[in-house]
């Protein structure tokens, strides 16, 4: 099929590249010329394992990026993958969604040779497909038979390529049988369960899944905080809990908390929707509160050991919100660094992939090219990201001035590291 993807961010770029690998012809549209040029040069503007290889294989063949919207006119399917950043009240900003719909309508007005299908892949509140995308497009081109579908993404950063080709499920949110069959055909080479729902149910599925996973993490952290007080190994506890097939072992890792572009934003947005419907999001407010407090607990552990942080050199290992990505959005390292700076400490940072992104937030920090350099003469160490290379650190810690090590991710193998929850 001919596919156009509006939005060359994380979801759009991964989705477009993977669809090209399924032999579709894909055009990724973005307003950022630097990003468009990088994609067309087969250089991914984000770090995602395996993405560069796929880009090099398909760019210039059946995959390209563009600043123009003209590819919409000859596309079978148009994906909307633009961002939905949070407003100040936690609700989703849908201005980019509305703008994408308007641009789709403009190109259809110029001319379209296919039966057009518009697919929303961005995370949007229930009702967005019908009340914003459909109404916007039909308001401009009422005589064009446009199909609509909500097809949420479930891509984990750092493992997105695998998640695309080996999905747990594919959700097709539409009541139009022509649209449903076309989306099934798009993914026909993927071995995955397919669930067909209404568009609003599909929109709600994405929010609910992310909120539930975030809840598992915060629940584990609350249990972990208690276990630390009781001198109980929370990881032994959660291993036993996770063996229950009704619960599963996933997302039960107690530690510094969750970050990234999805969980914090989506939980806040869902809580806002609940409040707007005259309900009290008690549980989700607690999930967010527990998560925001975890970084402070790491700083308190450090202060208990050092008494004062003023002038102390503190190694911060890990800046990305998780391993195998350079994404620092809502990273737990950010509030930790802010608290270190406000305490007069001197953070010395290292991350295998995310340094350049963190420099945009903290341009004046000390950044190192290795964990060894960050640890040299350090008065303390905070491990914030579960990079596999940190599990191999051992003798490097002997370079510290004071061997005080707080592990926020349960990744270290040395015996004297203290965890935030264990």
Active site residues: 262
Give φ, ψ of 313 to 5 degrees: -85, 120
Specify whether the CB–CB gap between 15 and 39 falls below 8 A. Answer: no
Counting every residue, how long is the chain? Answer: 422
81/124 Cα distance (integer angstroms): 10
8 Å CB contact between 7 and 80? yes
Q: Specify whether the CB–CB gap between 80 and 105 falls below 8 A.
A: no
Q: What kind and span of H or E run contains 170?
A: strand 170-173
Contact 419, 352 (CB under 8 A): no
φ and ψ at residue 6, rounded to 5 degrees? -95, 110
Query: CA distances (Å), 251 to each of 17, 42, 215, 218, 404, in order?
Result: 28, 34, 9, 9, 27
The set of long-range contacts for 271-274, using a CB threshold of 8 Å and a minimum separation of 24, is 271/90, 272/89, 272/90, 272/91, 273/91, 273/125, 273/126, 273/207
In the chain, the N- to C-terminal Cα span, in Å, equals: 52
d(CA 178, CA 323): 40
The two structure tokens encoding residue 201: 């149910």
Q: Are 154 and 209 in contact (CB under 8 A)?
A: yes
Distance CA 409, CA 399 (A): 21
Distance, CA of 235 to CA of 383 (rounded, Å): 17
Query: How far is residue 294's CA from residue 335's CA, in Å, rounded to a whole number?
Result: 10
Supply the DSSP string of 360-406, one letter for each residue: TT-TTSEE-SSHHHHHTT-SEEEE-S--HHHHT--GGGGG-SS--EE
């Amino acid at each position: 099929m001919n596919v156009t993807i509006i939005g060359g961010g994380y979801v759009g770029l991964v989705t477009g590249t993977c669809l090209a690998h399924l032999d579709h012809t894909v055009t990724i549209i973005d307003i950022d010329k630097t990003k468009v040029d990088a994609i067309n040069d087969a250089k991914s503007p984000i770090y995602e394992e395996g993405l560069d290889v796929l880009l090099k294989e398909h760019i210039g063949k059946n995959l390209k990026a563009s600043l123009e919207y003209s590819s919409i006119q000859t596309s079978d399917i148009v994906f909307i993958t633009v961002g939905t950043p949070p407003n100040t009240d936690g609700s989703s900003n849908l201005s980019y969604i509305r703008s994408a719909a308007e641009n789709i309508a403009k190109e259809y007005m110029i001319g379209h040779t296919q039966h057009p299908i518009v697919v929303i892949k961005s995370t949007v509140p229930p009702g967005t497909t019908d009340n914003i995308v459909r109404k916007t497009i039909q308001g401009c081109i009422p005589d064009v038979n446009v199909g609509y579908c909500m097809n949420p993404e479930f891509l984990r950063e750092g493992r997105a390529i695998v998640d695309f080709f080996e999905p747990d499920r594919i959700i097709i949110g539409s009541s139009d049988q022509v649209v449903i069959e076309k989306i099934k055909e798009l993914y026909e080479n993927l071995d995955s369960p397919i669930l067909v729902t209404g568009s609003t149910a599909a929109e709600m599925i994405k929010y609910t899944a992310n909120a539930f996973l975030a809840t598992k993490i915060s629940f584990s952290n609350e249990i972990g905080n208690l276990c630390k007080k009781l001198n109980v190994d929370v990881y032994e506890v959660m291993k036993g809990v996770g063996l229950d097939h009704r619960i599963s072992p996933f997302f039960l890792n107690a530690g510094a908390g969750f970050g990234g572009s999805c969980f914090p934003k989506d939980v806040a947005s869902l809580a806002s929707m609940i409040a707007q419907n005259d309900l009290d999001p008690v549980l989700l407010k607690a999930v967010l509160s527990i998560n925001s407090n975890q970084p402070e607990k790491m700083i308190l552990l450090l202060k208990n050991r050092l008494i004062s942080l003023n002038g102390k050199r503190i190694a911060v290992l890990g800046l990305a919100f998780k391993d195998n990505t350079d994404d620092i959005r809502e990273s737990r390292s950010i509030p930790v660094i802010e608290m270190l700076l406000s305490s007069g400490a001197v953070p010395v940072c290292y991350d295998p992939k995310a340094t350049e992104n963190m420099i945009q937030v903290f341009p004046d920090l000390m950044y190192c090219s290795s964990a060894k350099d960050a640890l040299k003469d350090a008065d303390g160490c905070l491990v914030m990201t579960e990079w596999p290379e940190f599990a191999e650190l051992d003798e490097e810690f002997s370079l510290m001035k004071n061997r005080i090590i707080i592990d926020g991710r349960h990744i270290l193998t040395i015996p004297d590291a203290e965890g935030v929850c264990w």
